[in-house]
Amino acid sequence: MTSPGSIEAAAAANLDGALSFTIPGRNARGRIVRLGPVLDHILSAHDYPAPIARILSEALVLAALLGSLLKEEGGQLTIQAQTESGIVDLLVCDYRSGELRGYVRFDRERLAELPSHRDLFALFGKGYLAITFDHPASGERYQGIVPLEGSSLADASQSYFTQSEQLPSVVRLAVDDTGHVAGGILVQHLPAGEEGRDRLHTRLDDPEWEHVRILAETIKGSELTDRRLPLEDVLWRLFHEEEVHVLAGVTLAKGCRCNAEYIKGVIARFDAADRAAMVDEDGFISVDCEFCSRVFPISLDDIESSGES
């Protein structure tokens, strides 16, 4: 008989990770992600209402799916959804080396008046989705921007790949009823075959891709968020008739990069007059980090003395 402790340990092992996979016989690749404690850690920084927590959870999963495409150490993926008149006027998430962070700015009063929270347009109105890849080794930055269209963030991200990358993709995102587990899958067609070869033109009706797309779209949200179900087993359920190569996994963590030393270094770049103007009545320059909801009180004396040393 399996003990409750061993069941809990197995469930924990299936959380906060991303797996990469390829289906070489069908010229396809993918990523699958499930978040648990990392999700709770990020959401706990703010008292988000359920609809806002859900959309941020989906965005964090999407960031993990896309960020894990980066092969370069220190590479960063940033997702930003912004509107001018939506209830949510800013959503931002980023991924770097397995670390995630995210934040949503929204109008709480308007949200309370909204009869339905499930539709993307209801929360954002007319806006755009920007996805940015930063490559520190080469100093290059690539950004794609598409309208926030469709009924969900998954729909909007699929539009990004079709319009900006000309890469047929399936994106599915899910959050369980508790709000404590979220998962997602990204499957893409590689028209030229294996990664590393030059990409040929893309055909959305390619028979190889059509087969993979149909299989990928059978995924259930409950499978993506079932903490008892290993991610490898989800892939087997979807593609058990195919040869699937599961690649190295990535452990995910909450990672806000704010700290007092970094902030002091940023403030030190301002001239003395500007720094003096930032000081509050208590004699500190207070810097807020919206990602982790922390305030860093920096003493002007500390900055000046560190500059002299």
pLDDT tens digits, residue range 1-56? Answer: 333 343 344 446 789 999 999 999 999 999 999 999 999 999 998 999 999 999 99
Range of the domain at 61: 4-254
d(CA 77, CA 66): 7
Looking at the structure, do residues 202 and 279 belong to the same domain, yes or no? no
Give rounded-to-5 percent helix, strand, coil for the chain. Answer: 35, 30, 35
- Residue (of 97, 85, 149) closest to 120 by Cα position: 149
- Residue (of 165, 163, 159) closest to 142 by Cα position: 165
CATH number of the domain within which 97 lies? 3.55.30.10
- Last residue in a domain, options 254, 276, 294: 254
Residues 14, 70: contact at Cβ < 8 Å?
no
Report which secondary-structure segment, H or E, holds 238. Answer: helix 231-239
Those residues of the chain that have pLDDT short of 50 are 1-11, 193-202, 308-309
d(CA 302, CA 264): 8
d(CA 230, CA 13): 8
d(CA 7, CA 247): 25
Looking at the structure, do residues 266 and 250 belong to the same domain, yes or no? no
Looking at the structure, do residues 237 and 274 belong to the same domain, yes or no? no
> Which residue matches tokens 């990069």?
257
Looking at the structure, do residues 16 and 78 belong to the same domain, yes or no? yes
d(CA 242, CA 92): 36
d(CA 29, CA 101): 25
Whole-number pLDDT of residue 28: 94
> Which residue matches tokens 């920096």?
298
- Last residue in a domain, options 228, 254, 280: 254
Indicate the residue type of 7.
Answer: I
- Residue (of 79, 83, 48, 53) closest to 66 by Cα position: 79
Whole-number pLDDT of residue 85: 83
d(CA 199, CA 306): 51
Looking at the structure, do residues 235 and 264 belong to the same domain, yes or no? no
Looking at the structure, do residues 277 and 239 belong to the same domain, yes or no? no
CATH number of the domain within which 281 lies? 3.90.1280
Looking at the structure, do residues 247 and 279 belong to the same domain, yes or no? no
Going by their DSSP bridges, the two strands 245-251 and 253-254 should be labelled as unpaired
pTM: 0.84
d(CA 251, CA 9): 16
Whole-number pLDDT of residue 192: 58
Number of structural domains the chain divides into: 2
Looking at the structure, do residues 143 and 266 belong to the same domain, yes or no? no
Looking at the structure, do residues 116 and 83 belong to the same domain, yes or no? yes
- Say whether 113 sits in a helix, a strand or coil: coil
Q: Which tens digit of pLDDT belongs to each residue from 102-113?
A: 999 999 999 988
Looking at the structure, do residues 249 and 210 belong to the same domain, yes or no? yes
d(CA 283, CA 303): 12
Looking at the structure, do residues 230 and 135 belong to the same domain, yes or no? yes
d(CA 75, CA 69): 10
Looking at the structure, do residues 149 and 297 belong to the same domain, yes or no? no
